[in-house]
């Protein structure tokens, strides 16, 4: 594919700020990979989910419209990182036009699950659900209108299928979440007898099941927990809670566990989410096998990738994890699968569909 066209074009990139969420981390790595292909890159970054105000949305819309208008016609593509609780990127999509619009849908099938979740709504549970739950069909229609014929990238097969069904006018492109680069650490079989939970704390990630996990997991197996917000979790006997880890501390955390657990909650009043898990990819980056809930997009992964989806409750995941980390032959086979996954899903490979679509849009004017 000829990328030379992009060297004379401009990318406007709308995404979460660095460090505020997994999307912010993704955005930093993604932007670093695609920016060198463009002649000019301009960014609009927003705060964490639940912190943006109506004023932030208005300012974002104005700023984006001004950026788009400052470039010559046909020179600009606007790309959005769209996620479940982020209202700013979703509501600024109309301000990108007439430039071609693309976006990554992180929590498929909906670009945003709670379009009205501003700061004044986020911390008031009854108001939040009162605004969103009764009007889901209306919000679905609004989202279809806002997205229109944009190009949407979805990083799981199940998510792509569901997004395509809900957005028939959009161009849905199935791609893969990149595996970030991380330094080599000891192989899982050489690490302590422990499992880990990792990531940014919010509802549905399984951190609320730590007590049940500790009660059902063999007591000889340590449990270690790390990530933003974990420092605020209630202490649990027999669980080591580390808080945020970055750099060498992150390397040390993964060096201290043989497998990662993703006990994601399958239950939601708003429907099934098919997310591309940044936590999963972080584990893959450290060549760490994963035992996860066998629901949604996670159910699609085969054991040959070093990932074991488990249908059931936390006790079922605990039993599989104990078997995996105690069986040297199986653990080494899973490690080989994880390594193969990491090699095929580096960021240089995973950005290729984006580059191809941007070349198509900017060379032909096709929407």
Q: What is the pLDDT of residues 174-211, one digit of tens each?
A: 999 999 999 999 999 999 999 999 988 777 778 889 99
- At residue 138, does pLDDT exceed 90? yes
Strand partners, 16: 46
Question: pLDDT value at position 1?
Answer: 59
With the C-alpha atoms ordered 203, 208, 213, 216, is the resulting torsion angle positive or negative? Answer: negative
pLDDT of the residue at 101: 98
Residue 155: predicted pLDDT:
94
∠ Cα 222 223 229 (to 5°): 155
Confirm whether pTM is higher than 0.75: yes
Domains in the chain: ranges and CATH: 4-178+347-364 (3.40.50.2000), 188-344 (3.40.50.2000)
pLDDT exceeds cutoff 80 at 21: no
pLDDT over 90 (residue 33): yes
User: Which pLDDT band holds residue 238 (cuts at 50, 70, 90)?
Assistant: very high
Confidence of residue 367 (pLDDT cuts 50, 70, 90): very low
Region at 199 (left for phi over 0; alpha for psi -120 to 50; beta for the rest) = left
Round to the nearest angstrom and report the end-to-end CA distance of the chain. 20
Q: How far apart are CA 276 and CA 203, in angstroms?
A: 16
Query: Residue 247 — left, alpha, or beta (φ > 0 → left; ψ -120 to 50 → alpha)?
Result: left
**Is 74 or 80 the better-scoring residue by pLDDT?**
80
Cβ atoms of 109 and 274 within 8 Å: the answer is yes
- Could you count the other beta carbons within 10 Å of the beta carbon of residue 347? 16
Examine the pLDDT at 97 and tell me if it is beyond 70: yes
Range of weakest confidence among 96-110, 173-187, 204-218, 329-343: 204-218
Per DSSP (E only), the strands in the chain are: 10-16, 40-46, 76-82, 101-105, 107-108, 151-154, 171-174, 194-198, 222-226, 239-241, 259-262, 274-275, 290-293, 307-310
Predicted confidence (pLDDT) at residue 146 exceeds the cutoff of 90 = yes
* Joined tokens for residue 248: 């060498």
Q: What does the pLDDT average to over 88-114?
A: 96
Residue 345 phi, psi dihedral angles, 5° rounding:
-120, 35
pLDDT score of 266:
63
Q: pLDDT, tens digit, for every residue of 263-274?
A: 987 666 778 888
For 295-309, write each residue's pLDDT tens digit.
Answer: 888 888 999 999 999
Give the pLDDT score at 114: 93
**The pLDDT value given to residue 184:** 95
Average pLDDT, the chain: 92
CA distance 206 to 213: 10
Question: Which residues partner with 76 through β-bridges?
Answer: 10
């Amino acid at each position: 594919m000829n990328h030379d066209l992009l060297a004379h074009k401009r990318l406007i990139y709308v995404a979460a700020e660095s460090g505020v969420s997994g999307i912010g981390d993704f955005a930093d790595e993604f932007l670093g990979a695609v920016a060198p292909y463009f002649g000019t890159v301009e960014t609009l970054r927003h705060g964490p989910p639940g912190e943006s105000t109506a004023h932030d949305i208005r300012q974002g819309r104005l700023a984006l419209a001004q950026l788009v208008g400052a470039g010559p016609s046909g020179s600009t593509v606007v790309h959005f990182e769209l996620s479940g609780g982020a209202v700013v990127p979703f509501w600024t999509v109309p301000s990108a036009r007439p430039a071609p619009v693309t976006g990554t849908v992180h929590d498929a099938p909906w670009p945003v699950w709670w379009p009205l979740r501003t700061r004044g709504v986020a911390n008031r549970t009854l108001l939040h659900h009162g605004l969103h739950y009764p009007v889901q069909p209306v919000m679905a229609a609004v989202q279809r209108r806002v997205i229109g014929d944009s190009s949407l990238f979805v990083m799981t097969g199940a998510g792509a299928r569901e997004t395509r069904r809900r957005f028939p006018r959009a161009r849905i492109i199935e791609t893969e979440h990149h595996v970030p680069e991380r330094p080599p650490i000891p192989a899982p079989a050489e690490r302590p007898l422990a499992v880990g939970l990792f990531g940014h704390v919010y509802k549905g990630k399984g951190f609320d099941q730590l007590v049940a996990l500790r009660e059902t997991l063999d007591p000889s197996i340590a449990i270690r927990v790390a990530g933003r917000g974990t420092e605020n979790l209630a202490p649990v006997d027999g669980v080591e809670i580390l808080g945020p880890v970055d750099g060498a501390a992150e390397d040390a955390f993964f060096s201290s566990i043989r497998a990662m657990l993703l006990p994601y909650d399958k239950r939601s009043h708003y429907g099934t989410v098919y997310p591309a898990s940044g936590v999963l990819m972080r584990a893959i980056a450290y060549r760490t096998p994963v035992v996860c809930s066998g629901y949604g997009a996670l159910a699609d992964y085969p054991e040959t990738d070093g990932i074991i989806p488990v249908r059931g409750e936390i006790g079922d995941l605990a039993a599989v994890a104990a078997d995996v980390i105690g069986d040297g032959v199986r653990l080494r086979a899973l490690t080989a699968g994880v390594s193969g996954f990491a090699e095929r899903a580096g960021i240089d490979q995973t950005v290729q569909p984006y580059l191809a679509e941007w070349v198509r849009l900017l060379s032909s004017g096709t929407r």
